[in-house]
Amino acid sequence: MAADLYTQAKALFPYLSDELVRLYADNWATTGDTGLALMAVRSNRAVYDRYFPGNLRQDGTIRLGEMDYLSTVEGYKRRVGSFGVPADVVLGPDRLKSLIEGDVSPNEFGDKLNALYVGVITQSDFIREAYARDYGAGGLSDAAIFASALLNDGKTSPIELERRIRSAQVGGEAASYGFSLAKAESERLSSFGLDQQASRKLFAQAATDLPNLNDLLGRFNDSTDPLTASDYADAFVIQDPNKLNVLTRLLGRQAASFGPDQGQFATDESGAVTGIKAR
């Protein structure tokens, strides 16, 4: 009888593991009720959670039917695989659990992967390093960066993810010219509208200007602390009045010493750097 019920259960649920099918068949044999047998399978968390992590809510109800769950997981795997990354490297049980509990659809997950691919993975090592350092990627591999999309229980919003990518691009472009920005500074600059292209121009100009400006600073005894890339960015991006005053005064002295063709930053109404114009 039990063997017959197992065969019938396997026909009913071909997508379930043998362990779950046997659990269903055993409970069916005991209760004689298919509905109670299915409830018994789902209420056995020790077994069920191994095959459907994240699907059971605290009250014992399920988020997705088992077929829909498996279809959703397959959707996640296809989207990871489309970038040439082994799905099992990115999608372990804990990460699947976070996605399911966060009600993240395969399309939403795919959008996050695509944003990371375009904004970080295809970029320079400086940007990859900035992202990995600041946002917990745990490594520079494509798989590690993709896995970071699953942090915070899979609930990182597209807007928040884009903010992180822009910040990493700012920090990475600074690093490419030898400057080190703290995460908070990169985030602050990107929040003021500094994007990757403007960052590249800003820090290229800073690399040119700062040695001469710090030399002038020492000669005129304006300060004992050398100017940094953060000071430079705060002046021309955030329009910090004190730093802008210092930089403007020094750039004026530099222009007087070296000629009129020094760089000057163009800004939009918000003060964000939009480019460099000739003086």
Q: How many whole angstroms separate alpha carbon 88 and alpha carbon 255? A: 59
Below-70 pLDDT ranges, the chain: 1-3, 137-138, 149-155, 221-224, 257-279
pLDDT over 90, % of the chain: 54
Question: Per-residue pLDDT tens for 239-279?
Answer: 999 888 888 888 887 777 665 554 454 444 444 444 444 33
